[in-house]
Amino acid sequence: MNLFEWTPAIAVGITTIDDQHKKLISLINDVSDAMKARKAAEVIGSVLQELSDYTVHHFGNEERAFERYSYPDKEAHMAAHRIYVDKIHELIERNKKGELGISISVLDFLMDWITNHIMKTDMQYVPFFKDKEIG
Ligand SMILES: [Fe+2]
What protein residues have CB closer than 5 angstroms to ion ligand 1?
62, 122
Between the CA of 38 and the centroid of ligand 1 the distance, in Å, is 31
Long-range CB pairs of 3-7 (<8 Å, 24+ gap) are: 3/29, 3/32, 3/107, 3/111, 4/28, 4/29, 4/111, 4/115
Ranges of each domain in the chain: 40-127
Residue 74 corresponds to which amino acid?
K
Is 71's pLDDT higher than 90?
A: yes
* Summary mean pLDDT of the chain: 94
pTM recorded for the entire structure: 0.94
Between the CA of 31 and the centroid of ligand 1 the distance, in Å, is 20
pLDDT band at 4 (very low <50, low <70, confident <90, very high): confident
Q: pLDDT digit string (tens) for 112-127?
A: 999 999 999 999 999 9
pLDDT band at 104 (very low <50, low <70, confident <90, very high): confident
Tell me which architecture the domain covering 40-127 has in CATH: Up-down Bundle (1.20)
Give the span between the Cα atoms of 43 and 130, in whole angstroms.
Answer: 40
Give the span between the Cα atoms of 124 and 132, in whole angstroms.
Answer: 14
